[in-house]
Chains A and B, each alone.
Chain A
Amino acid sequence: MSDNVLIITVLLYLAAMLTHAADYAFGRRGAVARAVAREPELVHAGGSQDGPITRQGGYTVAEPTTDPEPRPVQLGRYAVAFTVLAALAHLVTVVTRSMEAGRLPWGNMYEFVLTVTLVGTLVWLGVVVKWRETVHLGLFVTLVQVLLTGVAMVVLNTPVGPLVPALDSYWFVVHVGTAALSSALFLVGFAASVMYLIRSGYDEGKRGGLYPYGRFLANAETVERLSFRMHAFAFPVWTFAVAAGAIWAEAAWGRYWGWDPKETWAFISWIVYAAYLHARATPSVKRRVTAWIAVVGWLTMLMNLFGVNLFFDGLHSYGGV
């Protein structure tokens, strides 16, 4: 049951992604262009590198006087509708899986990836409801979801099994739950950072590679701010997840930290995201540099999620992979 619904989930994510892509290609880009034209000073503020106070001065002026929000492009609306359907199917996948297993669906990497991506989609839908102008970010979010759920379906799929005794602890819920939530938040933050890099590159006149797509994207300032919010939310949750993992490790393995490969990469991600937050708070560091740090951060998270379980033999190997 769960496996079949997963196929539907992946297909719905694919549909959402293709609709987003079609929106880029054929959508009434007038709406986006108008939205951008309406706030020219913000585009420049995003492109140029002013200190934070100056920029605050900028939006203090702009925000209260903004016209009614630019109407989302019709196709974008369908894309979000597909994403909602995908999220529902995704939810059914995860719920039926945990009913089949009779426990929380975090017992192996397959289940963990499905949970992370589900939370990621829910966070993303929350974001798009709150900040409608970010709807174009959906292309990146759904692309990542298609890839991750696809990998889960094809590569990681493991039969339903009980929890091994090593995972039988309430710290399991706390540690894995917060790790999944923070991974999901980092995922959305990563997608926003990529979008910011493309958009701000386009604003700076770059035209090679992916940069031409920048002209369809929401303004750089908005996505950069969204990316920061996601990371600022995710980082304390991630810190808590690592600390909870350490408390659990003390009870399970006799030491709170032992440089197991998973622990090492959790540490690396933590350091990289700490660097992101420091860079973001430093006026002399360019926002594009900051966004690249966020991209590196997400790569370390992916390395931890997939690489560590597949390449290294460590204590975090459970239930197949």
Chain B
Amino acid sequence: MVFLKLFIVFLKIGSFSFGGGYAMLPLIEQEIVNVHEWLSQNEFIDIIAISQMSPGPIAINAATFVGFKHLGFVGALVATLGVVFTSFFLVVGLARIIIKNQNSTIVKGIFSGIRPGVIGLIVAACVSLFSASIVDVKSLFIGLAILLILHKSKIHPIGVIFISGILGIIVYSI
């Protein structure tokens, strides 16, 4: 059955993609282009361009896009469900254990180390985001301008995203 097959392929992609993001593109490409031939190489490259215009994780974007191209609206639904399925049960399962044991010394000890570690992790993510998105003087200018806005005001991140988009149109049109 085609829908079941689509579901299973994206279940697999969702289950083996640690960290998410562009790191999982090779896995998606392998399954969708090479093994199942649901998309051509060119259509697959479109996914990257389309994902950059669309909000949400690239894994979700890819699932929806492939499902839709392959089997229409229901296909998009099935593939998207497949890609989040494993996450849902793992996260809920682990959340349940953590919440139940949140006063145990072991859980407290573990999180006392993880907490500062994650801050280092997020700053490290900024470094790789920086090298991927600050590519010229104009993007550096936008990044710094937004940093200044965030420092001086309490604008909602959504507002900041709009401002940066408009800055992009202005700065790159000059």
B is bound to A: no
